[in-house]
Structure formats: C-alpha cells, structure tokens
Amino acid sequence: MKRMLLTLPERAIVRKDLRGVWHTKMVRVTVILVPLLLCFALPAFYLAIAWLAPEDQLATGDFVPFLPNGGEGMTARQMMVTLISQVLGPMFFLMIPLMVSTASAACSFVGEREHSTMETLLLAPVPLRRIFRAKVAACVLLALAAELVSLLAFSLVMAAGSLLFSSPFYFNPAWAVLVFLLAPAVTLFGVTFMVLVSGRSRSSMEAMQTSGYLVLPVILLFAGQFSGLFTLGPLLLLLVFAAVAAADAVLLSAASRAFTPEKLLKG
Amino acid sequence: MQAVLAQELSKEFSGVRALDSLTLSLPEGSVFGFLGPNGAGKTTTVKLLTGLLAPTGGRCAVLGLDPREQAERVHALCGVMTESARLYPQLSGLENLEFFGELCGMTRAAARARGGELLRRLGLGEAGKRAAGEYSTGMAQRLSLARALLARPRVLFLDEPTSGLDPESAQAVNALIGEQAGQEGVTVFLCTHQLRYAEDLCGCYGILDHGALLAQGDLAGLAKAAGRGSFAAFRLAQGETLPGCEGAGGWWRRPLACPEEMPALVRGAVAAGCSVYEARIETPTLEDVYFSFIGREEGGALL
Ligand SMILES: Nc1ncnc2c1ncn2[C@@H]1O[C@H](COP(=O)(O)OP(=O)(O)OP(=O)(O)O)[C@@H](O)[C@H]1O
Ligand SMILES: [Mg+2]
C-alpha cells in the first residue's frame, strides 16, 4: 500500500479548509495583496528611486554600517540595491508567513467555532489528532504557497536590480536560511499561536487583531540592525531559527493538548 | 452486546446536575424514545454517549465501545444529529455531504451518490446545489439528518429531528427514521417533544426530568407503572344510562382489565336494552402516560 503523508479524510479536511479560507474575503486579500505589496511593489518602488534619483542625492552614508565590508567598492546605487535585498527584503519577506498563517488559522479555527461546525467535525470518525493535524497542514500549505509566490516576485524585482546596477544577485546563505528554515518555522509559529489565541476569541476578526502583535518582533529584529549593534548574517539567522523552532515545539504541543471537545465546544 | 449502555451516568456543569445517575440498557435494534421537558438532560445524555462531553460520574458504552476512549470507532458506527452541530454555510448541501462522506471513509463518488439519494428522500433534491448558509431552519435540519444517515450507521442518535419542521417535512423525516428503525439491528435513540411521532416510531421509552430517569419501558409497561389502565367506552342514545359506568359527554366508561372482557361488556350493554352507537377500548396514549409522570413529579415538588 502506498504510504501517504496525509490520510484521505485528512486530505478532505485540508481541501475543505483551503476552500473555506479562500472563501473569506479578508484572507484572500491578505494572501494576494500583502505579498504583492511587500515583495513586489515596495522593492520595485525603491529600485525605481535608486535608478531615477541623482547619484549624489542618495544618502548612502547612513547605510554603510550594515553593508558587507562597509560597502567598500560600491556605488551609491549598488548600496541602495543591497539595502533593499539584504535588509528590507528579508523583513518584508518574513511578514508573509506571519500574516498569511495567522489570517488563515484565524479563519479556519475560529471560523469553525463561529459557524458551530466544530461539533459536526468532531462527530466524524476521524481521530482528534488527525483533525488537528489536517487543519494545521491546510494553514501551513497556504502560507507556504504565498511564500513561494512572494519569493518569485521578489526574485524578479531583484534580478532586474542586478541587471540595472550590475550588482550581484541577492540570494546568499542568509537568504537560504531565511527561506528554507526561518520562514517555515515562523509559519508554524503563526498557526499554533493563532490556534491558542483562537480559544479566547469570539470572531475571526478579533483573533486577527491579536495577531498584529506578532509583526512587532519581526520589525524590531530587522530594524535593530540600524542601531549598528548586529547584522543578521546566516549564523545569527540560524540562531533565530533555533529559537523560533523551539517555540514552535512548545506551542504545537500546547495547541494540540488544548484541542479537546470540551475546550472546542464550550461557550 | 447492548447498543447503548449507561451505568450511573452523571454529568455536572459547575454545580448544576444536568444528568443524575442514569442507568439504561438498550439492546441492538431497539427504537428508544427519550422524553422529557426542556432542560431535562436529553441533549446532555446524547453528548455523553457520543463522546462530546466527559461524564463526571458513572460510565457509558455504545456497542461495547467507550465513546471517550474510542471516539472515532464509536463515530464510525453512529450517526448523530444534534441541534448544535451545523454544516458549512459556504458549501452547498451536497458538497457538505460529500465532505462528511469522505471523512467516513467513503469515496467522493459514493458519498455523492448516497448524499444525493438522501437529499431527494428529504425533499432537498433541488436545494442540494444551493449553499447551506442560505437554507431555512427546516432545510438545515433535514440536511443534518442526511449527514447523520450518510454512512448507514448502526446506532442513530437523533436530538429533536423534527422540531421546527413543517408537517410535510416532519412526515418525510419520520418516514426516513422509521425506515432506518425497521432495518435489522439498527438502533435508534430519539429525543423528542413530539409525543405523537414518538408513539408511531418507538418501541420503548424513557422519561427524564431534572436529570433523573422517572420511568422506562414500553407503552403498556409505562401505563401500568403510571397507574393508567384501559377503559371500555360506549356511546349511547341520549338519556340512556349504563349501570357500573361513569358518564361524560354522551360516553359511558368503565375500567377494563384486559381486552378479552370487552365482548361480554358489549353484550351486557345490548342485553340491558341500551342503543349502542359506538363501543371502543381506550388505551392510554403516550401523552397520557407522559403527563402522569411529569405531572406527578411537579405535584410532588409542590407538596
Ligand atoms: N454547557 C453547559 N453548561 C452549563 N449547563 C449546561 C450546559 N449544557 C446543558 N446545561 C444544563 O444542563 C441541563 C440539561 O440540559 P439539556 O440541554 O441536556 O436539556 P434537554 O433535555 O436537551 O432540553 P431541551 O428539551 O430544551 O433540548 C439544563 O439545566 C442546562 O441548563
Ligand atoms: Mg436538547
């Protein structure tokens, strides 16, 4: 027999959830608009500025502390491109898993309570753990898809940047850690955090608002580089990944333990 | 093996005793009517038996399985319809059934075929394509019943399946329940306030009030326990009397110990020169029995 990652009933739940989540306007907007804005429109806009503004008006001196090798041998325009690709880009990119995963989890978990469908789902002959796993998987899948699209869009903009200013392509070890480790870890964090929060929220809107707090640490982490105290290189990002992954493990087990008929059906 | 078994089953909600030491045993194939006023604990019992609630005392089993420990095995054998279990509003009626069919291990095609058939039987053939969120209360109720019946359950838990239905839909629903009940080995656990329908469908009953089971048994047994016997009743010409009977509204009645007494009573009435227009045996209805238990309880509470 072919072994599958998800059993057929679990797949049915994933399909149903993806459909339900997509059906919600707020989530659809988040999934389409946020990546478009953060990973395409904004970088493209900065790139356009770098290209159009007169070279001597680009205040590149301020960026020097967190450019590799202090930006030695770079033109002001190249510095600007590096700033977009290595400082702003990663920050924007990390917002995607966070926002999409929390939005879809709010919709999928709180929505089930809002529509009183959780009880029906619990009455199905599917073990509780599998229902939980399938619902988490649906949110993670959607977020990963949004990340992939964002990455492609960002790569497109940055490819144009390296062509225009003959600077190296943006992808480097730090980005590899970001894309393959940190982003998935943050996705899982967003989902499990939301599942735990959703227990207290009446509506998915309310749950979404709570998730706004999660964006703050990401901004602080990247904006912290402007203080000049640290630069988010691959090693530091690996460390951040380890911390998020540890938090994931804790949250996942807490969320899974809180996934009981009593807690889900109360109120 | 008993289809439904409860021993000293109790449930307390933060100080409120919703169910108090319920002991119940239903063999496979029985059609059980669970009756009681609002707040008696019927829904609580169904939720305990289907594993949605954990008992605070006692134990229960469905087909020998613990609904908490082996929830998914119990759910695979049971069809459950409760008022609080809704369907996905953004999916159509048929898509809802397809989804829940898949969760029961059916292929999508099989779930679709079975779902379509059930929807037609319940008068939702056309509405099956519409989003369930647009359904009226009665339509949603029938869709829920279709969901409960999808996987051909061996035990059917129905919590007020006909409340809020128009007479025509109620009839369709009752016909479908009756058909299930008639199938070999299918057990039906029916909570209802509609005593007439219950009397048509059920073979045995339990009467619950304030979490306590007041009586259990078939209609004859309950009537006996309630001290309600049968009566022989005669409608006579105006002005006539029948000795040994009490008259009221043109009818004359006397208690009847067994149906075999009736022919002799009719002969007696005719021999006494009465003009007998009608003669019948009046057996207590479920409603009579129900009220004698619930009424007695209320009366007792007043003393
Ligand atoms: N989740 C809950 N929390 C607190 N009390 C509850 C809860 N569910 C039920 N109860 C209480 O338990 C008692 C029994 O309720 P239940 O819903 O079982 O009654 P019922 O027989 O189904 O009534 P109805 O005919 O109105 O449906 C009631 O007093 C009710 O207030
Ligand atoms: Mg009830």
Residue nearest to atom 25 of ligand 1 (CA): B38
Measure B209 CA to nearest chain A CA, in Å.
Answer: 24
Of B50, B88, B103, nearest to A9 by CB-CB distance is B103
Q: Which phi-psi region, left, alpha or beta, contains residue B91 (left: φ > 0; alpha: ψ -120 to 50)?
A: beta
The contacts of residue B265 (CB under 8 Å, 6+ apart) are: B232, B234, B254, B256, B279
pLDDT at B68: 94
pLDDT at residue A201, rounded to an integer: 73
Mutation for A interface: B78, B103, B104, B135, most A CBs within 10 A: B103
Question: What integer is the mean pLDDT of A231-250?
Answer: 92
Give the residue among A230, A187, A194 at the shortest CA–CA distance from A87.
A230
Per-residue pLDDT tens digits for B128-137: 999 999 999 9
Statement: residue B303 has pLDDT above 50: no
B47-101, pLDDT tens digit by residue?
999 999 999 999 999 999 999 999 999 999 999 999 999 999 999 999 999 999 9
Cβ neighbours around A254 below 10 Å, total: 14
pLDDT of residue A249: 96
Are the beta carbons of B75 and A12 separated by less than 8 Å?
Answer: no
What residues contact B177, with CB distance under 8 A and at least 6 apart? Answer: B156, B158, B161, B188, B190, B201
**B283: pLDDT strictly greater than 50:** yes
Q: Kindly determine whether residue A125 and residue B147, on different chains, have CB atoms separated by under 8 Å.
A: no
Residues A209-217, mean pLDDT to the nearest whole number: 81
**Distance (Å, whole) CA A148 – CA B204:** 61
Q: A123–B50: do the CB atoms touch at under 8 Å?
A: yes
Residue position matching structure tokens 């006692």: B58
- Could you report the per-residue pLDDT of B263-276, keeping only the tens digit for each? 999 999 999 888 99
| Planar angle of CA B175, B179, B185, nearest 5 degrees | 150
Question: Ligand 1 test: best mutation among B9, B10, B12, B13, most atoms within 8 Å of CB?
Answer: B13
Mean pLDDT over B36-56 rounds to 95
Contact residues on chain A for B50, CB-CB shorter than 8 A: 123
Confidence of residue B282 (pLDDT cuts 50, 70, 90): very high
What is the pLDDT averaged over residues B22-50?
95
Over residues B111-121, the mean pLDDT reads 95
Chain B partners of A122 at a C-beta cutoff of 8 Å?
52
For residues A121-148, average pLDDT: 94
Indicate the residue of A115, A117, A119 with minimum beta-carbon distance to B52. Answer: A119
What residues 17-46 of chain A have any CB closer than 8 A to a CB of chain B?
Answer: 19-20, 23
What is the phi/psi pair of residue B278, to 5°? -150, 145
Confidence at residue B194, expressed as pLDDT on a 0 to 100 scale: 92
* Ligand 2 centre distance from Cα of residue B83 (Å): 8
- Residues A58/A50, Cβ–Cβ less than 8 Å: yes
Q: Over 50: is that where the pLDDT of B302 sits?
A: no
Query: Which one of A17-31, A60-74, B135-149 scores highest in mean pLDDT?
Result: B135-149
Interface test with A, best of B49, B99, B104 (most A CBs within 10 A): B99
pLDDT tens-place string over residues A54-100? 776 666 556 665 565 566 667 778 888 888 888 888 999 999 999 99
SS3 B227: coil
Cα gap A111→A99, rounded to integer Å: 17
Q: Which atom of ligand 1 is nearest to the CA of B14?
A: 4
Collect all residues from B whose CB is shorter than 8 A from any CB in A.
Answer: 50-54, 71-73, 75-76, 80, 82, 84-91, 99-100, 102-105, 147, 151
Which residue owns the Cα nearest ligand 1 atom 12? B18
Asked which of A183-187, A260-264, B252-256 is least confident by mean pLDDT, the reply is A260-264
Q: Between these two residues, A66 and B105, which has the higher pLDDT value? A: B105
The residue whose CA is least distant from atom 1 of ligand 1 is A266
pLDDT in the model for residue B58: 95
CA distances from residue A65 to A73, A89, B60 in whole angstroms, order as listed: 14, 17, 70
The Cα A108–Cα A103 span in angstroms is: 9
Inter-chain touch A127–B71, beta carbons under 8 Å: yes
Ligand 1 is surrounded, with C-beta below 6 A, by: B 13, 16, 18, 36, 38-44
More confident residue, B73 or B247: B73
Round the average pLDDT of chain B to a whole number and report it: 92
Interface of A with B in 73-132 (CB under 8 A): 115-117, 119-128
- What are the CA-CA distances from residue A83 to residues A43, A62, A97, A225, B167 (Å)? 10, 11, 22, 11, 72
Q: Which domains does chain B have, with CATH numbers?
A: 2-223 (3.40.50.300), 230-282 (no CATH)
Instruction: Return the pLDDT at A205.
Output: 75
d(CA A42, CA B293) in angstroms, rounded, equals 75
Residue predicted with more confidence, A2 or A243: A243
Closest residue on chain B to A15 (Cα): B99
Model-wide pTM > 0.80: yes
The string of DSSP letters for A188-200 reads: HHHHHHHHHHHTT
C-alpha of residue B52 to centroid of ligand 2, in Å: 14
